[in-house]
Structure 1
């Protein structure tokens, strides 16, 4: 299975609404959300598809950097190589795009890794779940995402989640502690029996996070995600000592080595696993396995990936045994994507496409419709 070509498709996917986190807007309802699809073609004509979801408000990677890196560096480095030799391919790619403190351009590399798994699955006539040798499921439970600065809207969304079969809500905070706590009190009142995951996206200082955590203990928050800056592992450790609310790390953990560092410093109770930020299935799988061996809790997450990235993530989360509803929030924000056989949400769960590899079928007409110039 020799790699013949790699094609890049920069896309702007339409959004139902803008997506706001403490760092800014990561998807605009008017402009759309930046996504990059990658197609890897083998010499025998088999195609594997992967996806990157860059956002300059969430990390340093942009659509422009992803596209140029794929076309100028990764493509010429992997053409002619065996598509099923992941170890060698990752060594080649990581040599081309070197690491800094953490893995270099993991969002870009995630698309390539995902496409290689899809290629291997189609070539061997196996599903991604079969390749992973883990649990297989036709669906995955989703956490209903609430991201709003309007109290009444937050109440309505929490009520909707509670009445429509969702088992968890994920509330974005990190703007203003007092207002954030008012939002959480409102959400908890409307959804008293749902798992309450709260994500500050690095929005607080340590004193603010301590104040918020004390209030969260009263409200009944189940997990407090990424309250402090990504590089402040010691601050997260100090926060853990001052609250009974479990602390989760997301932006602090981009690789398996980051997981090890968080474990050594006792900086978290949960690790957030995301294919996009961890260089794809390979890195996210190892990060999840290390976390499990260290008895950390696991949370599944995403950043409005399309059905392609969502399905890949869901199969990995099922393999890792993540039982809490995952924050795969694409369906709540994207109006459409280029996948023909996307699943529907029923009672808080989304049905997954079936087939070899990832199982998604790309609609080339929609791919051209949403394609953009970089």
Structure 2
């Protein structure tokens, strides 16, 4: 019997920057993520091998991490793609070792968002070559649908209550509130407004590193009467000892996101007793390969898991759904891409979201059909010339 993976050697890699228009404003403690009507770019990659292709995505979010549209595109074209070409497409472990030789991990993973785009494309390609979705490729699918949370980032209690009402009308029954945007009193008032508008539903508060230890302790104590389920990343990512001290003084479980880039980061935080819940985020961990390892380690250590994303478009959304399904993460996930952008390139089969619940894709690979003609029509020069060449091809890079 012919091995369908034997001839899958990476041949072609193309990188596209496509601007997606934001549907609504979105702000976090680090700054503005999106403004309604403004461009919100995505970096897509297409990998071809043996007549099969796979697609992946990176979501530049300078308000959240150091990678920008320009650095992601340049890293893929000039460093990661040359390291990947000629390798077996199925050898995703080997691909990550090649990535780490091309971009040194340093203190933690180097260029995780850029690496994630290629990792997702490889998973998509291998799944398509075998005709199975990613979950079946892993032999791991526990859930068929994932509940989602609605993001609230309004600057005042009135706006926060209105955003909560909008989410309820859309069928959502869980809310994630961005805090650290202003004064602590205002943040507490905003959370109280959400709780008043949505009594009895899960509420997840995310500070995106916006507080000092003492501020976070005061915040946690004031949020306790509001029945907040999780307090996420209130302190700097590189402050595990501060998070351990906070956890000892907070009755609200402490979730950690930005701190957990590599599975070894999670091991450190577990040893220091610095978290109750690990947040799984595909792009933050350089793709599905390491994100799976992180989730498995968390469960083996008895640490809770929560799912999150980077306002991904549909490729990233699908990847996260496969991951969360594989590990049975049924806590409402912060996969908010549909709330803020439209994935214009997904003109065929894609993720179905209904009444605040996303169905785990069942098509081959990631389960999202990409219209390449739309991608090429939308693509722009990542370095600022809207009339420059559309696709970035590593074979012609300087």
2:232 to 225, 229, 233: 225
1:104 to 82, 105, 110: 110
Tell me by how many angstroms 1:163 deviates.
5.0
Runs of 4 or more above 4 Å deviation: none
Secondary structure of 1:359's partner? coil
Seen in structure 2, the aligned counterparts of structure 1 residues 89 and 345 have a Cα distance that, compared at 3 Å, is closer
1:74 to 57, 80, 83: 80
Aligned to 2:217: 210
Distance 2:94 2:167 in 1: 45
Map 1:1-374 → 2, pairs under 5 A:
1-42=8-49, 44-135=50-141, 137-162=143-168, 164-175=170-181, 176-340=183-347, 341-374=349-382
Distance 2:98 2:342 in 1: 37
Q: Judge which range, 73-82 or 199-208, deviates more.
A: 73-82
Tell me by how many angstroms 1:189 deviates.
1.0
Aligned to 2:385: none
- Asked whether the equivalents of residues 19 and 41 of structure 2 are also in contact (C-alpha less than 8 Å), the reply is yes
- Asked whether the equivalents of residues 49 and 119 of structure 1 are also in contact (C-alpha less than 8 Å), the reply is yes
- Asked whether the equivalents of residues 204 and 232 of structure 2 are also in contact (C-alpha less than 8 Å), the reply is yes
Normalised by the size of structure 1, how large is the TM-score? 0.96
Distance 2:204 2:148 in 1: 12
- Asked whether the equivalents of residues 322 and 361 of structure 2 are also in contact (C-alpha less than 8 Å), the reply is no
> In the TM superposition, what whole-angstrom CA distance separates every residue of 1:19-41 from its partner, at most 9, and x where no partner exists?
10011012233432121001000
Q: Judge which range, 127-136 or 244-253, deviates more.
A: 127-136
Normalised by the size of structure 2, how large is the TM-score? 0.91
| Structure 2, unaligned runs of 5 or more | 1-7, 383-398
Distance 1:346 1:87 in 2: 35
Distance 2:374 2:228 in 1: 40
Tell me by how many angstroms 1:352 deviates.
4.3
| Structure 1, unaligned runs of 5 or more | none
Tell me by how many angstroms 1:137 deviates.
4.5
Tell me by how many angstroms 1:267 deviates.
0.7
Distance 2:27 2:124 in 1: 32
Aligned to 2:387: none
Distance 1:155 1:195 in 2: 15
Secondary structure of 2:122's partner? helix
Secondary structure of 1:7's partner? strand
Distance 1:136 1:51 in 2: 24
Secondary structure of 1:20's partner? strand
- Asked whether the equivalents of residues 67 and 113 of structure 2 are also in contact (C-alpha less than 8 Å), the reply is yes
> In the TM superposition, what whole-angstrom CA distance separates every residue of 1:173-208 from its partner, at most 9, and x where no partner exists?
012210000011111111111111000011111111
Tell me by how many angstroms 1:164 deviates.
4.5
Distance 1:330 1:314 in 2: 12
Distance 1:93 1:338 in 2: 27
Distance 1:66 1:254 in 2: 17
Tell me by how many angstroms 1:18 deviates.
2.3
- Asked whether the equivalents of residues 27 and 34 of structure 1 are also in contact (C-alpha less than 8 Å), the reply is no
Secondary structure of 1:221's partner? coil
